[in-house]
Amino acid sequence: MRIGIDLGGTKIEGILIAPDGHQAARTRVPTPQGDYAATVQAVADLVCDLDDAAKTLGTEIPTVGIGIPGAISPTTGLVKNANSVCLIGEALDQDIAQAIGRDTRREVRLANDADCFAVSEAHDGAAAGERIVFGVILGTGVGGGIAIDGHPLSGPNAITGEWGHNPLPWPRDDERPGPKCYCGQHGCIETFLSGPGMRYDHYAEAGEQSEAVDIANKAAAGNADCIATMARYEQRLARALASVINVLDPHVIVLGGGLSNIERLYDNVPKLWDEWVFSDTVATKLVPNKHGDSSGVRGAAWLWD
Ligand SMILES: [Zn+2]
């Protein structure tokens, strides 16, 4: 059996997956805010609860995979790039393994939450059985992960798929230098394609404060300003994804995060990206995720596939 944990900014979710792939148990707790030791203990407690659930089913000790909003630096072994800042600089995998402890130290596998999303969707989700999968998170931020044959692709910097802080490609003059990003640069993809990015763009062009999903709904109802904002967003998303297709050549791109619920993206963006993909035809598919909010926790469980 497999335990998957999704350590998020507001909640920690845990799942127990049976050998046949079905969910045998599920549990969640709020994330202790700004308290590293309490966070480690909360994750360990969740693992112990799911261990007990596995025991009642009479199986061996489950494996443990954890998705985090950051990455373990291969150089230092410590967490980096986490938006839950109390995790940064900590040996999170070691500390959790120790806290689970009991009799013997248990090896845990950690991965970035966007990588877990890609693994989940490649394993038994919207890209099931596909070889090269780019999983994209379009939400409060923009992230990405890559799964190859269902396994997370990881490199020496633990930043695979992190396209959100690349510049928006093929920028128009009015997109340069682009909005300032918290990472220190201007014009990052995230500043255009995140939910706040779309909101900012709509406000700058139409003078109206509106959430991304509301803009999409109003566009569907025929609002001209919202239609124009959606068209700009889709054109930018097409450019940003074309630059990924040119490097990775994925079979499938799966969208996750709040903006992945905007249905028109799946028809419109692939019609636009041909212009920038260096190929006579583009066979890459763009699809919505299958597992929604559960993808993170399911992908974490599949880290031990
Ligand atoms: Zn940035």
Q: What is the pLDDT of residue 104?
A: 64
- Is residue 49 pLDDT above 60, yes or no? yes
Q: What is the pLDDT of residue 303?
A: 92
Question: How far, in Å, is the centroid of ligand 1 from the Cα of 53?
Answer: 42
Q: What gap in Å lies between CA 48 and CA 61, rounded to an integer?
A: 10
Question: How far, in Å, is the centroid of ligand 1 from the Cα of 66?
Answer: 25
Pairing type for strands 63-68 and 252-256 reads unpaired
> 102 pLDDT band (50/70/90 cuts)?
low
- Please list, in sequence order, all residues whose beta carbon lies within 8 angstroms of the beta carbon of residue 114, skipping any fewer than 6 positions away: 135, 136, 137, 143, 144, 145, 161, 162
Question: How far, in Å, is the centroid of ligand 1 from the Cα of 86?
Answer: 20
Question: How far, in Å, is the centroid of ligand 1 from the Cα of 277?
Answer: 23
Question: How far, in Å, is the centroid of ligand 1 from the Cα of 183?
Answer: 4
What value does the mean pLDDT take over residues 75-104? Answer: 88
What φ, ψ does residue 253 adopt, rounded to 5°? -115, 120
The pLDDT tens digits of the residues spanning 32-48 come to 999 999 999 999 999 99
Residue 116: closest CA among 71, 156, 76: 71
Q: Which two tokens stand for residue 165?
A: 């802080």
Question: How far, in Å, is the centroid of ligand 1 from the Cα of 228?
Answer: 25
What value does the mean pLDDT take over residues 119-124? Answer: 94
Question: How far, in Å, is the centroid of ligand 1 from the Cα of 70?
Answer: 15
Question: How far, in Å, is the centroid of ligand 1 from the Cα of 39?
Answer: 27
Question: How far, in Å, is the centroid of ligand 1 from the Cα of 23?
Answer: 37
Residue 256: closest CA among 221, 217, 286: 286
Contact 51, 108 (CB under 8 A): no
- Is residue 105 pLDDT above 80, yes or no? no
The pLDDT tens digits of the residues spanning 60-82 come to 889 999 999 899 999 999 999 88
Question: How far, in Å, is the centroid of ligand 1 from the Cα of 180?
Answer: 8
Residue 32: closest CA among 23, 20, 40: 40
Q: Chain-centre distance of CA 13, in angstroms?
A: 15
CA angle centred on 106, ends 103 and 109, rounded to 5°: 170
Question: How far, in Å, is the centroid of ligand 1 from the Cα of 204?
Answer: 19
Q: What is the pLDDT of residue 77?
A: 93
Q: What gap in Å lies between CA 295 and CA 256, rounded to an integer?
A: 9
Question: How far, in Å, is the centroid of ligand 1 from the Cα of 57?
Answer: 46
Residue 154: closest CA among 184, 106, 109: 109
Question: How far, in Å, is the centroid of ligand 1 from the Cα of 181?
Answer: 5
Question: How far, in Å, is the centroid of ligand 1 from the Cα of 261?
Answer: 24
- Is residue 19 pLDDT above 90, yes or no? no
Question: How far, in Å, is the centroid of ligand 1 from the Cα of 191?
Answer: 7
Q: Which two tokens stand for residue 53?
A: 């659930």
What value does the mean pLDDT take over residues 57-61? Answer: 80
The pLDDT tens digits of the residues spanning 238-251 come to 999 999 999 999 99
Contact 110, 296 (CB under 8 A): no
Q: Which two tokens stand for residue 24?
A: 């045998």
- Please list, in sequence order, all residues whose beta carbon lies within 8 angstroms of the beta carbon of residue 91, skipping any fewer than 6 positions away: 77, 78, 79
Contact 40, 59 (CB under 8 A): no
- Is residue 305 pLDDT above 80, yes or no? no
- Is residue 160 pLDDT above 90, yes or no? yes
Q: What gap in Å lies between CA 122 and CA 108, rounded to an integer?
A: 21
- Please list, in sequence order, all residues whose beta carbon lies within 8 angstroms of the beta carbon of residue 210, skipping any fewer than 6 positions away: 199, 202, 203, 218, 226
Question: How far, in Å, is the centroid of ligand 1 from the Cα of 189?
Answer: 7
> 10 pLDDT band (50/70/90 cuts)?
confident
Question: How far, in Å, is the centroid of ligand 1 from the Cα of 137?
Answer: 15
What value does the mean pLDDT take over residues 178-182? Answer: 94
> 22 pLDDT band (50/70/90 cuts)?
confident
Tell me what the pLDDT averaged over the chain comes to. 94
Question: How far, in Å, is the centroid of ligand 1 from the Cα of 165?
Answer: 4
What φ, ψ does residue 209 adopt, rounded to 5°? -85, 120
Question: How far, in Å, is the centroid of ligand 1 from the Cα of 163?
Answer: 9
- Is residue 103 pLDDT above 60, yes or no? no
